[in-house]
Amino acid sequence: MVGALSLTTVAVADEQKPPYQASERAHELAQKHLIIDTHIDVPYRLKKDWEDVTVATERGDFDYPRAKAGGLNVPFMSIYIPANLEQTPGASYQLAHELIDSMEALAWRAPDKFAIAYSVDDVMTQYEKGLISIAMGMENGSPIEGDLDNLTTFYNRGIRYITLAHSESNHIADSSYDIRKQWNGLSPFGKELVTAMNNIGVMVDISHVSDEAFWQALEVTNVPVIASHSSLRQYTPGFERNMSDEMIKGLAENGGVIMINFGSSFVTQQANRYNAMIAKQAEKIREELGADSEEAKARIATLRASNPYPYATLEQVLNHIDHVVKLVGIDYVGIGSDYDGVGDSLPVGLKDVSTYPNLIQGLLDRGYNEAEIEKILYQNLIRVWRAAENYAANH
């Protein structure tokens, strides 16, 4: 167990390193090859703060011009459902449909720029037409509401992966964030759901779930699974939301793929512990001076200003990719950035969807060849998606 870090230690970060300057070669590869990113939180971002992402936007990490500049061809738009909605029957189901509606509306408003992708073949056809394919994954399975007919409904609307749980355990699986392990893994319905997802062609996403739920999902599934936006516990010891080396080996044996999350708190231990340590110090100040006192507010503001957020760097994200490759090989890693989902915590050099060439440049600098980079950018995920489609076609 790594010892507690002081605030002084946390404040020492690599953010002073100059941003990457991708070469012409990196930009060329970004435009030449498909780039699939399996987790971008545009739908919920637009629900909270609407902007027209068919043109350049002032806020957020994604819009059409930046996506084209970065070479992004297939953003899996996250149909994110807050965990607390499960307590209100019908609320998760309704929100999921509303967010899917918003993505259909986006494609309808700009048919020269976007199209919904229901299959790998759609992706390839739309790529040839120069369109960005909007694929969709459901982040939190709570909209299924214990009814497999709802799985069919959402499949027909375009959902192609489901993250079984989110920040709290639900009726499907235990969450890595939730100390209440009510199922000790998957619920009985969760096991049924994994089999049903296999049979209909929806990829099983094990990001967010507890370790026990992960291993049980591997036991139940008949096709490879994905971790749509997770990174490595190797660099964030004790953070169950990330994956251990043993889990990555299990994922590779299953034929699955881990899509690396760019959020700094997923990438480095410093960033991972930062918020908790700031919160602890702030609580002490509130206890000493009064929660609503002006002096307390001023002291907390000073605390934050004197301990800036320790942004990760592109190099540290590349370390995660390297570790997976060294551990299990090139066939089991991809990109699941969590753009628009992690707030102002993105690494230096990877601040929005225009910066995939920087990632490619980093891979080139580390000796990856073009064929290996292709696997990371899209081929590994396409392999799993095809496997899901093929299994469903026979079941």
What number of residues does the chain have? 395
- The pLDDT assigned to 45 comes to 97
- The share of the chain scoring above pLDDT 90, in percent, equals 86
Q: Are 356 and 35 a contacting pair, CB within 8 Å?
A: yes
User: Does 7 score more than 70 pLDDT?
Assistant: no
Least confident stretch, 119-133, 163-177, 219-233, 286-300:
286-300
Alpha helices in 24-138 (DSSP H): 24-32, 42-48, 64-70, 91-109, 120-128
- The pLDDT assigned to 19 comes to 60
Over residues 159-171, the mean pLDDT reads: 98
* Strand, helix or coil for residue 124: helix
3-state helix, strand, coil in the chain (%, to 5): 50, 15, 35
- The pLDDT assigned to 109 comes to 97
Q: Are 312 and 348 a contacting pair, CB within 8 Å?
A: yes
Q: Is the dihedral of CA 151, 153, 156, 162 positive or negative?
A: negative
**DSSP per-residue codes, 229-256:** EE-BGGGSTT-TTSBPHHHHHHHHHHT-
Amino acid of residue 4: A
Q: What are phi and psi of 159, to 5 degrees?
A: -70, 125
**DSSP per-residue codes, 51-68:** --TTS--SSSS--HHHHH
Over residues 221-241, the mean pLDDT reads: 97
The CA distance from 330 to 241, in Å, is 22
Q: Is the dihedral of CA 45, 51, 57, 63 positive or negative?
A: positive
Task: Kindly give, in sequence order, each residue whose CB lies less than 8 Å from that of residue 80, ignoring residues fewer than 6 positions away.
Answer: 41, 43, 44, 99, 139, 140, 166, 341
Confidence of residue 291 (pLDDT cuts 50, 70, 90): confident
The CA distance from 160 to 223, in Å, is 14
**DSSP per-residue codes, 295-332:** HHHHHHHHHHHHS-----BHHHHHHHHHHHHHHH-GGG
Q: Which tens digit of pLDDT belongs to each residue from 61-76?
A: 999 999 999 999 999 9
User: Does 6 score more than 50 pLDDT?
Assistant: no
Mean pLDDT of the chain: 94
